[in-house]
Amino acid sequence: MSHGKQFTLFSHTGGPNGWKVAFILEELGLTYESIYFDFKKNEHKAPEFTKYNPNGRIPAVIDHRNNDFVVWESNAIIQYVVDKYDKEHKLSIAPGTDEYYTQLQWLYFQASGQGPYFGQVGWFNLYHPEKVPSAVERYRNETKRVLGVLESVLLKQEWLVGGRLTVADISFIPWNIFATTLLLEGFDLEKEFPATAKWHNKLLARPAVKNLWEERERLLAQQ
Ligand SMILES: N[C@@H](CCC(=O)N[C@@H](CS)C(=O)NCC(=O)O)C(=O)O
């Protein structure tokens, strides 16, 4: 790749997972070039991409500063980036400490408990060929249950781990935006989960997050 930046980030304008990685790269001041795939053209299933990610999904990154090393799965990418390039632990917990595993625990929970379940609300609402109200109800309830898990912790502490902002908090942003804007009709985060709402709003106010989400809106408006 000839763009001269440290990372190539394979992403998508609408989907949540590429933006999580962009937030972290931006927060750490690492340079990257985003390539946004057109899912309608199945660009993410083409051999030019599946040679990097056999799963045919975004995000994936190439680290040009590390012999073009490739990583896919958003939270594995995030862990790689902070372990390798956040040596001052601005956004992450030091490996070898107990809290490192608490950070990992939240990243796993985000990837296995938040992303796929929130995603199913979107799928059954927008894309599934038949209306299946029981499925919509199941995944809406699960979305609220997961928000309830966050609430139970954030009522007692400001951040998920280490008493400060880390990648664990940032990883929840995109799906929580979708939960509060798209997925749950008539849902009021502030009313139902006030501690989570306060935390979420603090995350949204971070310049890197705000700027990138505005960039996403601009890109979507051009499509
Ligand atoms: N667990 C994966 C999920 C990746 C994922 O589902 N990406 C979506 C976009 S956000 C995708 O590529 N969808 C296209 C497809 O499923 O064909 C991660 O966190 O990276």
Q: CA separation (Å) from 51 to 33, 44, 221?
A: 19, 11, 31
Q: Is residue 30 part of a domain?
A: yes
Please check whether residues 177 and 192 belong to one and the same domain. Answer: yes
Please check whether residues 163 and 119 belong to one and the same domain. Answer: yes
Please check whether residues 198 and 149 belong to one and the same domain. Answer: yes
Provide block-wise average pLDDT over 10 residues at a time, the chain (223 residues).
93 98 98 97 97 98 98 98 98 97 98 97 94 96 98 98 98 97 93 98 98 98 94
Structural domain boundaries enclosing 44? 7-91
- 119 CB near ligand 1 (under 6 Å): no
- 162 CB near ligand 1 (under 6 Å): no
Please check whether residues 195 and 104 belong to one and the same domain. Answer: yes
Please check whether residues 29 and 67 belong to one and the same domain. Answer: yes
- 17 CB near ligand 1 (under 6 Å): yes
Helix (H, G, I), strand (E, B), or coil: what is residue 117?
A: helix
pLDDT for 24 equals 98
**What is the domain-level CATH number for residue 13?**
3.40.30.10
pLDDT for 2 equals 84
Q: Is residue 118 part of a domain?
A: yes
Please check whether residues 78 and 106 belong to one and the same domain. Answer: no
Residue at which a domain ends, from 36, 59, 91:
91
In terms of C-beta density within 10 A (0-12 exposed, 13-18 middle, 19 or more buried), how is residue 104 classed? middle
- 73 CB near ligand 1 (under 6 Å): yes
**What is the domain-level CATH number for residue 157?**
1.20.1050.10
| 11, 13, 17, 126, best to mutate for ligand 1 pocket (most atoms within 8 Å of CB) | 17
Peptide bond into 59 cis (omega under 30): yes
- 58 CB near ligand 1 (under 6 Å): yes
Please check whether residues 110 and 199 belong to one and the same domain. Answer: yes
- Determine contact, residues 171/107, Cβ cutoff 8 Å: yes
Please check whether residues 199 and 110 belong to one and the same domain. Answer: yes
Please check whether residues 81 and 108 belong to one and the same domain. Answer: no
Residue 212, CB-side half-sphere exposure with 13 Å CA sphere:
27
Residue at which a domain ends, from 73, 91, 109:
91
- 43 CB near ligand 1 (under 6 Å): no
How many domains is the chain built from?
2
Owner of token pair 């790269």: 25
DSSP string across 9-27: EEE-SSSSHHHHHHHHHHH
Q: Is residue 2 part of a domain?
A: no
pTM over 0.85: yes
CA of 57 to the centre of ligand 1 (A): 5
CB atoms within 10 A of CB 20: 24
CA of 144 to the centre of ligand 1 (A): 22
Please check whether residues 45 and 102 belong to one and the same domain. Answer: no
CA of 4 to the centre of ligand 1 (A): 26
Q: Is residue 136 part of a domain?
A: yes
Q: Is residue 215 part of a domain?
A: no
CA of 61 to the centre of ligand 1 (A): 13
Q: Is residue 169 part of a domain?
A: yes
Q: Is residue 198 part of a domain?
A: yes
